[in-house]
Amino acid sequence: MAGDSDAHVTISLNLAALLRSHVRGRGCRVYISDMKARIETTYKNKFYYPDVMVTCDKRDQKTINYKSFPCLIVEVISDSTEAFDRGDKFADYQTLDSLQEYVLINPKRQRVECFRRGDNGLWILEFYTAEKSVFQLKSIEFEGSLADLYEDVYFELQSEI
């Protein structure tokens, strides 16, 4: 979203760079907030702009303005979008059969929430905090450090938001 905070933009960029390096040569693509995620519905398609999205599905190579088969969607939360990101938007994303993980990242403190679709179709939540120091994105077999994710994020400035 245009006009995001320094922390929001920095976290999104850090994650996209880490993931791009990780998936290079594996047939996956990493997209940032200018690429739409398409949700097909019976009546009208919905489009969202996730902060970071990864697709490894060849069908997504056929579309240039949106992607319909992401395996990973990441949102950096903000006060104005958090309820929607956790509620209706997540409900819409859950209709994507390809989606294996939905991740919410807190820009005010080191906290990553990863919702993973289990074998039974239920979503399981795993928290990653500073105490753990690493986080996993199993959909793309990635493990990264929270220090790298939050590099150049200055939490003391967050009070100005």
pTM value is 0.93
Q: Read off the tokens for 47.
A: 């489009």
The CATH topology of domain 6-154 is tt1808, chain A (3.90.1570)
- In this prediction, residue 1 carries a pLDDT of 53
Using 50, 70 and 90 to split pLDDT, how confident is the model at 159?
A: low
What percent of the chain is helix, strand and coil (3-state, nearest 5)?
30, 30, 40
Would you list the domain boundaries of the chain? 6-154
Count CA within 13 A, CB hemisphere, residue 155. 9
pLDDT at 127: 96
- pLDDT band at 157, cuts 50/70/90? low
Quickly state the pLDDT bin for 44 (edges 50, 70, 90): confident
* pLDDT over 90 percentage in the chain: 86
77 — phi, psi (to 5°)?
A: -75, 155
